[in-house]
Amino acid sequence: MLRAVDASALSLARSDDEPPLTIPRDPAREAARRELSKRMYHENDPSWFQRALDAFWDWVGRLFDTASSATPGGPLGLVVVIAAIVLVVGALWWRLGTPSRGPASSAALFDDRPRSAAEHRAAAEAHAAQGHWNQAVQERMRAIVRSLEERALLDVRPGRTADEAAAEAGRALPSRTDRLRSAARDFDDVTYGGRAATEQSYHRIAELDRDLERTKPVLANSTSSSHSADHNARRGAAE
């Protein structure tokens, strides 16, 4: 095409009666550029999107070729390495759960819709029956706290965290303080720490829930009366 344009430029530069002339290189190049810039020569050119897409796939191809040359076994070895990385990432994601972005201390134990302890227990059992141990642990811990609120051992406070509930409940149920704190840690690990619950952790919290139902609280007035009675008895004996 360039030769045809050069020929056209030469024919324009001379008349029919004059002998052929040699056009300098630069004017010939400029004449060819003007000729090729006409729209008729670009009607079938690819769009800018197609050109960008072709450039992207060319870059991917070069990247793959470079990685293949650096990996033992060539392209097959690279595919094996990528598959192994995907499997490791998937296993870690399944084991640890979705990473949490918020701190545990700022998140509340309950959502906006209040439910009874019985409703939380039923939800926990339904999740456990399906093997959804994360949700089962969460609902059983909520059942424990709601039950303590229903028994007036805890005041109803929507913004309470699991750690706060365990600490407050431990004052009324001192013999269960350690187990309450352990249950709160399990709840925080599952809900905010990205850990995966197990069947054993759920059964521990469920057993604690049943045990708390049978445990009588140690009331502050009873404790004070006991101390007062012991003090009076000691005084009487001394007199």
AA identity, residue 202:
Y
Contact 219/172 with Cβ under 8 angstroms?
Answer: yes
pLDDT at 63: 73
pLDDT at 224: 44
Place of tokens 């019985």: 118
Rg (CA), the chain: 40
For the chain, the structural domain boundaries read 2-39, 105-220
Tell me the C-alpha distance between 171 and 179, whole Å: 13
pLDDT tens column, 157-203: 878 899 999 999 999 899 999 999 999 999 999 988 888 999 999 99
Low-confidence residues in the chain, pLDDT < 50? 1-6, 9-10, 12-13, 15, 100-106, 222-229, 231-239
pLDDT at 238: 41
In terms of Cβ atoms closer than 10 Å to its own Cβ (0-12, 13-18, 19+), residue 165 is buried
pLDDT at 19: 53
